[in-house]
Chains A and B, each alone.
Chain A
Amino acid sequence: MAETLNREALKYTGKVQPQLGKIDENGQMLYPYLPEEDLVEAVNLAIQLERPLLIKGEPGCGKTKLARAVAYELGLPYETWNIKSTSRAKDGLYTYDAVGRLRDAQLAAAGRLSDDKIQEIDKSETYIKWGPLGRAFLKEQTTVVLIDEIDKADIDFPNDLLLELDEQRFVIEETGDKIQAKAAPIVFITSNDEKDLPDAFLRRCLFHYVEFPKRQQLIEIVNAHFVASPESLVNAIIDRFLQLREEMRKDKGESGKKVSTSELMDWFRILRHYPEDKVLDELGKKLLYPGVLLKSWDDYNRYAKQRRVGGDL
């Protein structure tokens, strides 16, 4: 009961930002995150309804960063589970060191283990290593869990997680222990849409598509990351960036890879080190440091030089 009360008090606003240069417990830099209003609402909905929130959107528009930001604002512990193509649902809960146990059993049989060690063999938790979701279930406090890029895994992967996400419990098959979440975690799932997710899984998730930020938002994002940047410089860089993005959109359509927010951040980071007037001057002629923005030979050929051609015409 205390837990549900607690849950209702959890409300994400998207307005509490870490100070620049702040570092989290894992040594990662914390960055400000400026969500759209409807994303904030979706997050709150997911928290209150205790459903996982599935986030899709272009690569580099901040899907992954959201979970960290929510954990920061609400002051909750944070767990990431980075999915790989070989990931299995169980890995996120626990892994059982059967080999270790076998080895210890052998050593014990040979009389080569100390007494404390032998006692440990009988404890069920000795050979269990918890995964991110498993840890979140064990914590007393509500935990923010990010399941990153779920589409990388096997097609069956999401379905294997249904029970765990739905009923917040799982069974350790090797020992028969039942784990029930002490506090329902807040789960964020990101997908790059490389594979479709099964309907049964989708049904249980809330869904939000992160749109590419509008111009005004981009300016705010840049300003939040790089304080005290000259306004004219910010405007010029964002204009050039949006222009490039628009060109790419025309050429490749909606689904092609376009320059993203994260690339803009990288680009800005570099351009900031150069004198403002030089940057302003050069931007009109060509794309500075195109390698930061253009990631394929094709793009590089097409867009890095296009501007000059356009100027000649």
Chain B
Amino acid sequence: MIKHLSFEGLLPITVDEALAIVESVMDNKRLTELQKIVFRLSWERKSYQEIAQVSHCTSGNIRAVGAQLWNQLSKSFGEKVGKHNLQSVIERYLKSRQDDGPPSGFLEKPIVDELPLIELFSQLREAGFPLGIGEYKLLLEALQKGFGTSDRTSLYRLCKTLWVKSAEDKRLFDYHFELIVKESQETIPAIPEKPANSAPETEDSGIIETAPILTEETSRPIISAPPPELVKAIEDEVQAAKAVMQATNKYEAISDRQFILTSEYFPVTRRQMKQSWRYLRRPVREGPPVELDVEATVNQIGRQGILLSPVLVPRRINRSQLLLLIDRDGSMVPFHDLSHRLAETAVRGGRLGNAGIYYFQNCPVDYLYHDPYQLEAEKIDRLLAKLRPEKSAMLIFSDAGAARGGYSEERVELTAGFLQQIKTKVRYVAWLNPMPESRWEGTTAGKVARLVPMFEMARRGLQDAIGLLRGKSQSSVFVGTE
């Protein structure tokens, strides 16, 4: 895929190559964006009028940019360059360079005549990797510098280092790489002067050296591709879960009546809730006053005539986006007042406009509801799409089956499915359980508590949960499902 261009065979060259040549001829001076546009469109034999339309400039403006550009190019190429002889000048230039042999700069480097690994790149992009043209160019640059060219493993490592940014990404990457690169294994860029398995050169002699650490066998094996059923399995699971959900619903509806509504059970007072919330959502300036407020200090000096002490203010801290999910009905009936209070304090206490409160029953599946009576639904997917993963935190208020006791595998699976679903969109998840911790063991809640950090709805628990949502806790790395 990479080779030294033989220009005779490859003419006409593309506009990108022409631009690269122009920049190399101009001692690697960069063209401005506008110059590039003029160059590109002139290459395609567009008129100044057309160029002006595309670039939203006046045609006089474009003419001026063009004149200046041709002037520069004429100087660099040593012959008159204009809008109409652009292609022929560059072709002539290349031919002459080729006759001289590749002397310097740009021609020394191998040129990529087709885009290597573009398929892998676009696949990864589709898979949601945050990759842009810059990342792709980085790969080209690395290939040109001789990285990843010895064999498939080193190519794999190169792409991994450049494009994979987390351990989770790696799984996806492995899968796509295996799929794409295996098929075209023979055409993997093989730069002849690089021997396969090239050992790192050790030029620094005279320093102590130890034996190479890694043998071929210990180098990272190519993990066999995760089966594509992964994705399907999740879908199936969701569907299975849906069916199960309906079943559990029925069951729960019947057993509702066994509960007696007790009204005054408040492990956390309203004020405490407010305080805790403020902790999460009053992030404007927080912490010890350590930052110098120069303006205020100068004002103070103006008033007092001399500098007595500087005025310090706390530092500004980020605010976060919170999503509060509240379990309603069923076993949660006794806690309705509590959850209402929690929601109310959350809304009122915060200056944070984008806090959202949603309701569900037992387990969020497919839909969440805007109102406690579960009339106005919103699809979870759509809701998640609105979230900004770097800022969102989720607090779930539910007994997770601990109130009734008993263990329901279905409910665990359903919850796990939901947690899996939100995983990519929500950074911190905490679970508040109105039942005391001693009651979780052996019930569904006990199992769910292993999937997600669960706290007892008490002052301490609420504080811990909010601390976690702020990203303060060690255990904040959200585990999700296995």
Contacts and interface: CB of A to CB of B under 8 A. Distances in A.
A100 to B, nearest CB: 10
A247 B201 CA distance: 40
B225 interface: no
A39 to B, nearest CB: 9
B132 interface: yes
A198 B427 CA distance: 11
A17 B391 contact: no
B138 A49 contact: yes
A216 B208 contact: no
Given A49-B142, A155-B471, A194-B471, A220 B213 contact: yes
Nearest to A75: B204
A15 B210 contact: yes
Given A16-B207, A45-B158, A203 B142 contact: no
Q: How large is the interface on A (under 10, 10 to 19, 20 to 34, 35 or more residues)?
A: 35 or more
Interface stretch (A29-37, A231-239, A298-306): A29-37
Contacts of B218: 36, 214, 216-217
Interface stretch (B161-169, B336-344, B397-405): B161-169
A102 B162 contact: no
A19 B160 CA distance: 33
B208 A207 contact: no
Contact of B165 (A42, A205, A211): A205
Nearest to A85: B472
A209 B170 contact: yes
Contacts of A16: 204, 207-209
Given A49-B141, A209-B167, A255 B477 contact: yes
A284 interface: no
A103 B301 CA distance: 11
Contacts of B138: 49, 51
Interface string B263-298: 000000000000000000000000100101010011
Contacts of B209: 15-17
A157 to B, nearest CB: 9
B214 interface: yes
Range for the number of chain B residues in contact with chain A: 35 or more
B147 A37 contact: no
A86 B471 contact: no
B195 interface: no
Given A41-B147, A41-B158, A106-B307, A98 B294 contact: yes
A54 B212 CA distance: 24
A11 to B, nearest CB: 7
A48 B39 CA distance: 31
Interface in A186-228: 193-196, 198-199, 202-203, 205-209, 211, 214, 216-217, 220, 224
A224 B209 CA distance: 12
A205 B317 CA distance: 25
A214 B317 CA distance: 42
Shortest 8 CB-CB contacts between residues of A and residues of B: A37-B214, A202-B165, A199-B130, A42-B161, A207-B165, A13-B200, A38-B157, A16-B207
Given A41-B158, A103-B307, A203-B134, 9 more contacts: A11-B200, A15-B212, A37-B213, A51-B138, A106-B306, A154-B318, A193-B477, A253-B482, A255-B477
8 contacts: A15-B212, A38-B160, A45-B162, A106-B306, A193-B477, A202-B165, A203-B165, A209-B170
